[in-house]
Amino acid sequence: MKSNPYRLGIMGGTFNPIHHGHLVAAEIIRDEFKLEEVLFVPSGKPPHKGDNDDEIAPPEHRWMMTVLAIASNDYFSASAIEIEREGDSYTRDTLMELKKIYGEKAEMYFITGADAIAEISTWHKTEDLPRLAKFIAASRPGYKLDWKKIDPRFRKSTYLIEIPALAISSTEIRKRIREGKTIKYLVPEVVEKYIYKNRLYQRG
């Protein structure tokens, strides 16, 4: 049965690559926040990363890995809106577009890493964000979010949740691939196969 208002989780990230930490985080948050759906939105061009960041796999590969990784969960879906939009992938533009698709009444929860949320006051048109969504900061074990640093406008609408599985990180996975080490069980098997078939992250 659909809830009223519709509770939508939006999982934002570069997903370079997507891993089991992201998937566990999305599933635990879906359950705890009683979300009807978690929509994964891979960044097209992450706004805070340079054009020459060649550690970032092309958007079409990150999109494919995301679609493969979420396929077995009926609550998960993916949107290419940031991949298809030209220019920097601003969260504010994404939330505005999703409001049009899901309706003004949809309750939106933007989920991403705690490190990224800690910088939210520097995001594009930050003043629009609190009325568009609530924010869920998923943290690695032992991470301490400094609430004093969080813009007061966001304090009431931001939740912090520790996800032990986020001990897995995309940075560590890319490093392991470069060093020829195994990444088995860190990413879904289909993603592992996709990475090797397309020779992603082998140089850095």
Q: Is 170 in the site for ligand NAP (CB under 6 A)?
A: yes
Considering the complex, state which of residue 7 and residue 89 has its C-beta at the smaller distance from ligand NAP: 89
What spatial distance separates the first Cα and last Cα of the chain, rounded to whole Å?
47
Considering the complex, state which of residue 165 and residue 190 has its C-beta at the smaller distance from ligand NAP: 165
Spatial contact of 204 and 172, defined as CB atoms under 8 Å apart: no
Three-class secondary structure of residue 70 per DSSP: helix
What token pair was written down for 39? 């929509």
Backbone angles phi, psi at 48, to 5 degrees: -100, 15
In the bound complex, which residue of the shown chain has the CB atom lying closest to ligand NAP? 113
Q: Is 53 in the site for ligand NAP (CB under 6 A)?
A: no
Q: Is 11 in the site for ligand NAP (CB under 6 A)?
A: yes
Q: Is 66 in the site for ligand NAP (CB under 6 A)?
A: no
Q: Is 43 in the site for ligand NAP (CB under 6 A)?
A: yes
Q: Which stretch binds ligand NAP (CB under 6 A): 65-73, 150-158, 167-175, 176-184?
A: 167-175
Q: Is 17 in the site for ligand NAP (CB under 6 A)?
A: no
Total residues contacting ligand NAP by CB under 6 A comes to: 26
Spatial contact of 148 and 169, defined as CB atoms under 8 Å apart: no
- In the complex, minimum distance from the CB of residue 169 to ligand NAP, in angstroms, rounded to a whole number: 4
> Facing residues of 152 across strands?
none
What token pair was written down for 149? 């640093």
- In the complex, minimum distance from the CB of residue 42 to ligand NAP, in angstroms, rounded to a whole number: 8
Cα separation of 28 and 188, whole Å? 17
Q: What DSSP designation does 188 have? A: -
Q: What DSSP designation does 39 have? A: E
Q: Is 25 in the site for ligand NAP (CB under 6 A)?
A: yes
> Segment 95-124, which members bind ligand NAP (CB under 6 A)?
111-113, 115-116, 123-124
In angstroms and rounded to an integer, the radius of gyration of the C-alpha atoms of the chain is 16
Residue type, 173: I
Residue type, 83: I
Residues at the contact surface with ligand NAP, assessed by CB under 6 A: 11-14, 22, 25, 43, 46-48, 89-92, 111-113, 115-116, 123-124, 138, 166, 169-171
